[in-house]
Structure 1
């Protein structure tokens, strides 16, 4: 029998070298009783821990205008691997890179674009992302 926990430990050790923080929008605005103004609700940290970020390219074909000409576009997309112990992430959650093997990844943020993938042999969580904010390195 295949030992899933051994594979999961291997994946965490070798495929998740970075640290991320995942936040969820605070939701509705809250009334500040001192000023009487609405202020944005506090974002909630839903996960902080190990992860691995892996880039890939998405090819998208779509029709444009009345002529219906097909246009092919290539956009960067990212896959994030997390331990099974990480909670399920939602579309729109924000992923911030806090530590990374590649220094160019530090400070970048991503948006979760799809719910976690599921598997008959779960050993890690796979989440699809798109880059949200990229700060140029000095």
Structure 2
């Protein structure tokens, strides 16, 4: 199967345009480190994160799927009103459920810096994809966190 559309534009060319014009922020996909004992305070503190990916990306607010109801009308455990979508290049690794995402460089909206999202499920994948799509739920609830 050819990757050329009827107009002669290849998926590779579209992917290059999206990378340069849409994936303009720098994002990290990471797993939070296990808690470690701080010998000075005697308290457990978060250990260093394990970064799975750091590179071009974009975050978009999305309505996402509607409310999913379970037995007896209880809201589904992953129901959220703060649904976002992460776009990364196809060569970025797949994010897994429970991984976290943060924006380290924002070219347009400084309000994205250091916000943290939780990955809701394994990144989407498809035959004709030009970017990798990952559904997120925002963890950070206050500005400057």
Q: Please report the TM-score for the alignment, with normalisation by the length of structure 1.
A: 0.75
Matched, 1:75 2:57: no
For 1:47-99, what per-residue CA distance to the aligned partner results, in whole angstroms no more than 9, with x for missing partners?
A: 0011011101243153796xx599xx871200110001111111111111111
Where structure 1 has 5 or more consecutive residues not aligned to the other structure, the ranges are 32-37
Q: How many residues align?
A: 128
Instruction: Give me the CA root mean square deviation.
Output: 3.0
State the Cα distance separating 1:43 from its structure 2 match. 2.6
Matched, 1:105 2:141: no
Separation in structure 2 between the aligned mates of residue 5 and residue 52 of structure 1, nearest angstrom? 19
Secondary structure, counterpart of 2:129 in structure 1? coil
Cross-structure match for 2:41: none
| Residues 57 and 74 in structure 1, CA contact (< 8 A), matched pair in contact too | no
Cross-structure match for 2:101: 95
Where structure 2 has 5 or more consecutive residues not aligned to the other structure, the ranges are 5-9, 38-43
Q: Please report the TM-score for the alignment, with normalisation by the length of structure 2.
A: 0.72
